[in-house]
Structure 1
């Protein structure tokens, strides 16, 4: 498999655009709580935070369009509504969270700078990158990503070769499902449909490559980025599990701080601050850029629309970035339970061969997925007993995955129906 310089740059850029606040603080705490069952949560986390997002990149390699193309087979109206919801969630939650994490872990321990000032400076620099649209892959791929990876490997490598007590028992009833649901919190499936578009447009703006060249480049870059993400997640989850009986912590950020100090000593705290700032920054750039690209496309490629959206996105980031990290994570859960299942289904359908993903299949599977994910969403707003009574009749619903089997069943059923209908039509035509 041939990999050129642009492929590696794009892979590095993809890695950084995916690897943000949640990707850094969630895996160690997941491993810490899983203890000796850390491998099962890694598999679950890998499914929702690596496999599904990278499948989104493969989907973009095929269609080389915008996020509107991901849902267009359902209907143009549904595609538009879906995109607006995804970009609204992205700008309102994961983007501001990057500023909040940066403040709590990289600034607050060492400086009296207020959260407001930090967020303002942070998103001002984000805006500079977003406005330099054509240079994003180069800037992130060449300079920021290598530094992020080196720091991560230092913390993981030194930590796993250190002395630690036996791992504690897992707190999870089902490690696989716990890992999948925690992977939701990375926003990476949503990130896949957002930053995939950023990569497609970035390569198109260079004007050097044809469709087939871009298709191969994006697919190879996605593979490399996926391998890198899984390796880093595996290391962070194993590190959290390795120290699960040694450290006593109550939240995600505290654990990451203690791990960096345990592995790299006093200098580890400074390195962690730099790592957090860089990882969060690249993700914020990807989200704001993707949202601005989307609005620009809706407004007939208006650069003014791009700039206004970028500025508004950064202002919103400053405002919401004042909230506590854990508060932002908590309020994100209902939104994730609402949009994640349909996003996963759209990603999978867009990577399948055309004969298995017709318009009818898209519409039927998307509708069933939406209907069966409603109980998980409603559970945050109405009496728990009412929702649990409904969930008892839905397989896997107690793991917040009640939509999976119905979606799979409808997918198979509709494909079989279209197969037999096609054969019957062929026989009638032949007669």
Structure 2
């Protein structure tokens, strides 16, 4: 039986596992640069940072499996390779980035310690939580997330009611698509297929007696609640950034702007509140990523507890090493990987939410192949020091917006469903 308490605890856990470093530092600068078009930019951002990730959670509720189940209709080999790539990216980029953000925003203002020291202590604590995964839902859902949301609402509420609603001019050339692409940097679509599995396993451990339908309903309801919370927080942060366009230099960094917002809203004590917020938001995401990766490797090794522990150790060691780099650098090196893996992830999430008659094996294979092929130009162009001549791929619709895969994937989806129609009848 799904009580309101169960739904809220699970929703809070989902929110917290999603709401990490990128989710905190990206929306304010997005709003700051979007000016009077903050609404359009925010909608684009929320499509890739809220709608798609929540659909990923709903797909998990439907499949009741792991990330491997997302791509198995293409082929078991593809699904295995895709899973390994996603987890490799997750523990190599977004997980270490949480330590980097924590150091820059929560440690540096108060302590004269090195990033290495921060990373070691940070991922030691992450490791402890990962080993005690059965308590993840309760600790995150009951304690950490409410604290995160309370601090965020304080900052957003004070800023919203302290400034006139006047905005500057936008600095974006393509506000809507720029918002969508910025949403990639949250890693939340990838996070949905990674941490969604963590939630599934945690619920199965906690609610062993519940039926499949009961668990599925719980996850679905919690997913929509978490999605609404994410949307409201992102919009609030974007508006806050847009309102202070006259207070900061246009070249301000993401972390510096967030620090400035906390100071404007909460005064001298703002940095202390922000430090707590950053630490909590980043930490819960790192725990979710490392736990999800360890779960997957464990499932591929005959449920070996040793494999789970070894993977957790490797994930935390990678976090220590890569987490020493600054946030801007990690965001920059993440872009090529995101331009390739994100479109594939979006397509898999969407297909897994469709009724079976519109998502046969042949449809999965055709659409994923088309997505991979038409993502290659965006991937190559996003690699530093490499740039293809624009005329080479200018014939691809939406290519100039780095979204050349969208229409080809849609066309192939329609054609493959039309060709496969006799098998549905």
TM-score, normalization by structure 1: 0.96
What's the counterpart of residue 80 of structure 2? 80
In the alignment, which residue of structure 2 is the partner of 1:276?
278
Aligned counterpart in structure 1 of residue 317 of structure 2, from 315, 319, 322: 315
CA contact (8 A) 1:33 1:172 kept: yes
Residue 186, structure 1, aligned to residue 186, structure 2? yes
Q: Structure 2 CA distance, aligned partners of 1:246 and 1:320?
A: 33
1:303 to 299, 305, 312: 305
Q: Which moved more, 1:376-385 or 1:84-93?
A: 376-385
Equivalent residue, structure 1, for 2:269:
267
Three-state SS of the structure 1 residue aligned to 2:282 is helix
- Note the alpha carbon deviations across 1:28-83, whole angstroms, 9 max, x for none: 00000001100001100110000000000000000100100000000000000000
- Other-structure match for 1:429: none
Residue 243 of structure 2 corresponds to residue 218 of structure 1: no
C-alpha distance in structure 2 between counterparts of 1:24 and 1:382, whole Å: 26
Tell me the CA shift for residue 302 of structure 1. Answer: 0.4
Q: CA deviation at 1:332?
A: 0.1
Q: How does 1:162-177 map to 2 (within 5 A)?
A: 162-164=162-164, 166-177=166-177
Matched, 1:407 2:409: yes
Matched, 1:353 2:374: no
Partner of 2:240: 239
**How many Å separate the matches in 1 of 2:121 and 2:191?**
24
Specify the SS of the correspondent of 2:240. helix
Q: In 2, are the aligned partners of 1:46 and 1:230 still within 8 Å (CA)?
A: yes
The match for 2:114 is 114
Q: Distance in 2 between matches of 1:203 and 1:110?
A: 38
Contact 1:166 1:245 in 2 (8 A): no
Q: Any residues of structure 2 matched to 1:52-91 within 5 Å, and which?
A: 52-91=52-91
With over 3 angstroms needed to count, the CA separation of the structure-2 counterparts of 1:383 and 1:28, relative to structure 1, is closer
Out of 328, 334, 337, the residue aligned to residue 335 of structure 1 is: 337
Q: Which moved more, 1:116-125 or 1:48-57?
A: 116-125
Shift of 1:383: 7.1
**What is the number of residues matched between the two proteins?**
423
Aligned partner of residue 24 in structure 1, secondary structure: helix
The residue number in structure 2 matching 1:161 is: 161
Three-state SS of the structure 1 residue aligned to 2:388 is helix
| Contact persistence 1:31–1:236 (CA under 8 A) | yes
Secondary structure of 2:162 counterpart:
coil
Distance 2:165 2:76 in 1: 56
In the alignment, is the contact (CA less than 8 A) between 2:190 and 2:342 conserved in 1?
Answer: yes
In the other structure, the counterpart of 2:49 is: 49
How far, CA to CA, are the matches of 1:210 and 1:132 in structure 2? Answer: 25
2:2–2:218 contact (8 Å) kept in structure 1: no
The answer to whether the 8 Å contact 2:127/2:316 transfers is yes
**Bigger mean CA offset, 213-222 vs 248-257:** 248-257
Q: Check conservation: 2:339, 2:382, Cα contact below 8 A.
A: no
Residue 381 (structure 2) aligns with: 379
Indicate if the aligned counterparts of 2:26 and 2:254 stay in contact, CA closer than 8 A: yes
Match of 1:134 in 2: 134
Shift of 1:414: 1.1
For residues 196-226 of structure 1, the C-alpha deviation after alignment (integer angstroms, 9 at most, x for no partner) is 1001111111213210011000000100000
- Shift in Å, 1:381: 4.1
Matched residue SS, 1:105:
helix
Paired with 2:12 and 2:221, the residues of 1 have a C-alpha distance of 12
